[in-house]
Amino acid sequence: MRHLLEIDDLTVDELHRVLDLATDLSPPRVLEGQGMALVFEKPSARTRNSMEMAVFQLGGHPMYIQAAEIGMDVRESVEDVTRTLASYHGCIGARVFAHATVERMAGEGLVPIVNMLSDEAHPLQALADVLTLQQEFGDLAGRTVAYVGDGNNMFRSLALAAGMLGAEVRFTGPPGYRLPEADRDRLAAAGVVVAEFDRATDAVAGVDVVYTDVWTSMGQEDEAAQRHRDFEGFRVDEALMEAAGPKAVFLHCLPAHRGEEVTDGVVDGPASRVWPQVANRMHAARGLLAWLLGEAADGGSGA
């Protein structure tokens, strides 16, 4: 039984295979006659819509479920919810606060579990990100990706995906918001070494990609004022893109807090690839599900 809780649940070959399947516009209808439960503890625009459409394109029936409605660990345990949903659905996706929740679901071993964002990881977004970069550059080997801001769920998954495909990954953010040692070890185990920079201008100089995410993630709203102060100096604005150089493209997982971590001029500017990135969420999700419920379920990588 395979799951996608984080990018390093895939081997490098499997990651390539998922991305190949993402560009297959006539994918195998691996969900024909089946449902996929999509459980959300947090809001979503892109993830819900891209997953629903991907499930539909694979012949399945997506079912959107607000976590409050089923009361995970309130009305009944996460394990009992998982057993119940697995009785009706061929796959379960969950967007959660605690990463342990998707691990507990996967621990039941009943149907493949897809992490649709946890406090620690956002692998579906990272798949769309590297798909977007492949379309821009071809092979990612030797390309440079600089992430500016919070060392959060988005950064972990992006660093794994881009690094596993051979990109050089750079990080810059204020002290206190950098990757803990345990995360560095996990990245290193996947062959990914992150170069850390104190100053955003140094991190982005000469890179191919500048990436940022919100300073305040879902669930951290109480810290917003403090974070706003701490992250000053790590905004991606026109001057920072100029410091990156003329070839750099800009990515952001969205939603953007315009005027905070990024300016309008960058999101809407010529270097921005955020709308292809958004569109690729559906293609990446379809590729992942085609692999997870097809080749991976059949026991072969297909690579």
Stretch that binds ligand CP, among 11-19, 76-84, 130-138, 253-261 (CB under 6 A): 253-261
Q: Which amino acid is at 36?
A: M
Instruction: State both tokens at 288.
Output: 């992942």
Q: Specify whether the CB–CB gap between 113 and 37 falls below 8 A.
A: no
Q: Which amino acid is at 134?
A: Q
**Count of alpha carbons within 13 Å of 156, Cβ hemisphere only?**
24
Instruction: State both tokens at 59.
Output: 């012949």
Options 115, 125, 144, 280; binder of ligand CP; rule CB under 6 A: 125
H or E element, residue 61 = strand 61-66
In our burial notation (b when 16+ CB lie closer than 10 A, e otherwise), range 43-56 reads ebebbbbbbbbbbe
Instruction: State both tokens at 164.
Output: 């596993």
Q: Which is nearer to ligand NVA, 96 or 133 (CB)?
A: 96
Q: Which is nearer to ligand NVA, 147 or 291 (CB)?
A: 147
Note if 125 is an active site residue.
yes
Q: Which amino acid is at 295?
A: E
Q: Which is nearer to ligand NVA, 14 or 261 (CB)?
A: 261
Give the one entry of ligand NVA, ligand CP, none that residue 259 binds, where binding means its C-beta sits below a cut-off of 5 to 8 angstroms depending on kind: none
Token look-up 């921005």 returns: 272
Position 221 contacts ligand CP (CB under 6 A): no
CA distance from start to end of the chain = 18
Position 47 contacts ligand CP (CB under 6 A): yes
Position 273 contacts ligand CP (CB under 6 A): no
Note if 91 is an active site residue.
no
Give the one entry of ligand CP, ligand NVA, none that residue 45 binds, where binding means its C-beta sits below a cut-off of 5 to 8 angstroms depending on kind: ligand CP
Note if 281 is an active site residue.
yes
Residues 177, 181, 185, 186, Cα dihedral to 10°: -40
Stretch that binds ligand CP, among 18-26, 235-243, 247-255, 290-298 (CB under 6 A): 247-255
CB atoms within 10 A of CB 113: 27
Please tell me whether the peptide bond between 43 and the residue prior to it is cis, using omega within 30 degrees of 0.
Answer: no
Options 3, 17, 46, 273; binder of ligand CP; rule CB under 6 A: 46
Instruction: State both tokens at 260.
Output: 């905070």
Site size toward ligand CP (CB under 6 A) is 9
Per CB under 6 A, residues contacting ligand NVA are 117, 122, 152-154, 213-214, 217-218, 253
Q: Which is nearer to ligand NVA, 46 or 170 (CB)?
A: 46
Position 57 contacts ligand CP (CB under 6 A): no
Q: Which is nearer to ligand CP, 207 or 274 (CB)?
A: 274
Kindly list the residues in this chain that would bind ligand CP in the complex (CB under 6 A).
Answer: 44-47, 117, 125, 253-255
Catalytic residues: 95, 122, 125, 213, 253, 281
